Structure 1
């Protein structure tokens, strides 16, 4: 999500009187096993900075949990409410990240490129020794977690991007990104009726296709969890609390689609998914930061979160979440979501 008041989070976005446009990540270096870009995978060297409100940052938290990278890659959590100086570490004692020693994520951007004029976005990975931003490439970070950080994966970690299925995964993810992940923002930040209705149609056309696809299979591609499920989940879990009303994606709620509602509950109840979701941060960010859409700043009291833990019966379909692997253990104590942010 950008530090500009757009709530997009995943790289820079532009909106206003122009058509909504999501920019490419400016800092696209990769952290790889061989270190081709100068950033080799190394336990303890990097810090992942996220907002729990951001769907794109939420992806990295899920992938990190499923793969067991918690001890290798520390995480810093920003306040869900930004100010004009970017994402801030006001949740930490003294208002500073305890590892990086900075008050604002923009300081890591400035350390990498002095006077960088673009938006400050999460997720971001920072090199701890130098304090410099390494990457804010929200599309690539989790793919590299799955394929380049394998030496640091936990025993029993799932293969989230299996080579034999990558073409299909990529195809599914492309449609999900264009029409669902990004589509809700195109609808929410539209400045004209035709622009809004076009995005609205794209969102629900794709959701209908996904509902049909998932009607007889547990997961989007293959018979185990993959990157495609992670990317769809982070939008679906925010849909009813935020996008359905706030972004005017109101043909129906996810809870009113029996297939998608069961699917997202199945994922939510899978270790590594629901335990990364903070509904309090999500709602406060969108409704308080987007003053152009919600000028009163009032945060809705609903919806009721208790239904997230109800039976979904998706286990009756073929597929096992971790295949021959195992689920992750409980999250580290310091990373547990406060009760106010959970059902």
Structure 2
């Protein structure tokens, strides 16, 4: 994600400019397509300890990789570096680490890893990114492919009981469903929020809620989007739904209805949130800080709202009545590593 959009221009404050007046938002989808594979055909073979996933809990595209890495148990094979929730127009930064420097890569800005491999890298510095530890060079930032490769290329390092998130017999359907989710929902909220004209906004708004209504209908009789277990498609939808009420409803003007006012999608989102790997990788405080502070051309004051009340994420969803089970023949992942636990104050109040 190029700071949640295509490469932003820079305004005098050092913040990015995300809205182009009079135009609809068009995401730059030309990513670094190098892959890490079992056979190493691109020069980067699967190898435990060789790579570091750089992500940010605030970012929905990066949040996918955090969920998949945890569900599959890849923590020992692929280390994790976390950027802070805010950044300037130049780069994501390691604000959460002592001294503002990633302790493994030894860099303060993710841009350094991009420049190490591609001097003068001309595009946005995006998360998620996978960096080769020994060289300090970025390998890939192709977020849709990163999770699929975690699922198919890294099987040697999956934990016992890891679920099949991209089963072969369902891949065509997963791809079809995921394509619609990406164009109309994942990216659709950005087309609303970064619309540079009324017509662009109106069109994006209709497309977004048309698709959400279609997904609601699909999920009214089935627990998961494809098959009877969690798949890649569910992960891709969840990260947008988790941000809907805290950010997209107000900040991005996606305000026909809140997620909590869409009964089927709200129950579906709570079902996933309460499943290990989903809610425990969600940091609501960082999510709000990112959008409201970084997007100054939408929210010039940088004021972060107090709401909404998040306690309802832990209420019963009753989705188990539709059948299916989250992990199929597999098992839930163990609790998060202590260093990777979302701070309690950034999560859902439990008292």
Query: Do the two structures share a fold, i.e. TM-score over 0.5?
Result: yes
Write out aligned runs for 1:120-269 (5 A). Answer: 120-269=125-274
Provide structure 1 residue ranges, at least 5 long, that are not aligned to the other structure.
none
Cα displacement (A) at 1:12 = 4.6
1:2 maps to what in 2? Answer: 2
Kindly indicate whether residue 282 of structure 2 is the aligned counterpart of residue 277 of structure 1: yes
Matching of residue 39 in structure 1 with residue 44 in structure 2: yes
| Count of matched residue pairs | 338
Cα separation, 2, equivalents of 1:280 and 1:68? 25
TM superposition shift of 1:30:
0.5
Provide the residue aligned with 1:22 in structure 2: 27
Deviation at 1:295, TM superposition (A): 0.7
Q: Deviations for 1:147-182, whole angstroms, at most 9, x for unmatched residues?
A: 111111000000000000011100100000000000
SS class of match (2:130): strand
- Provide the C-alpha distance between the structure 2 equivalents of 1:265 and 1:320, rounded to a whole number of angstroms: 14
Q: Match for residue 331 of structure 1?
A: 336
CA contact (8 A) 2:19 2:297 kept: no
Question: What CA distance in whole angstroms lies between the structure 2 residues aligned with 1:90 and 1:308?
Answer: 28
- The alignment's C-alpha RMSD in Å is 1.1
Q: How has the CA–CA distance of structure 1 residues 25 and 76 changed in structure 2, closer, same or farther, with 3 Å as cutoff? A: farther
Tell me, yes or no, if structure 1 residue 71 matches structure 2 residue 76. yes
- When normalised by structure 2's length, the TM-score is 0.95
Aligned to 2:103: 98
Runs (4+) of structure 1 moved beyond 2 Å?
11-15
SS at match of 2:334: coil
Q: Which residue of 2 aligns with 1:342?
A: 347
**CA distance in 2 between partners of 1:20 and 1:322 (Å):** 37
- For 1:230 and 1:222, how far apart are their aligned partners in 2? 14
Query: 2:14 is matched with which residue?
Result: none
Structure 2 stretches lacking a partner, 5+ long: 9-17
Q: Deviations over 1:167-215 (max 9, x none)?
A: 1100100000000000000010001111101000011000000000000
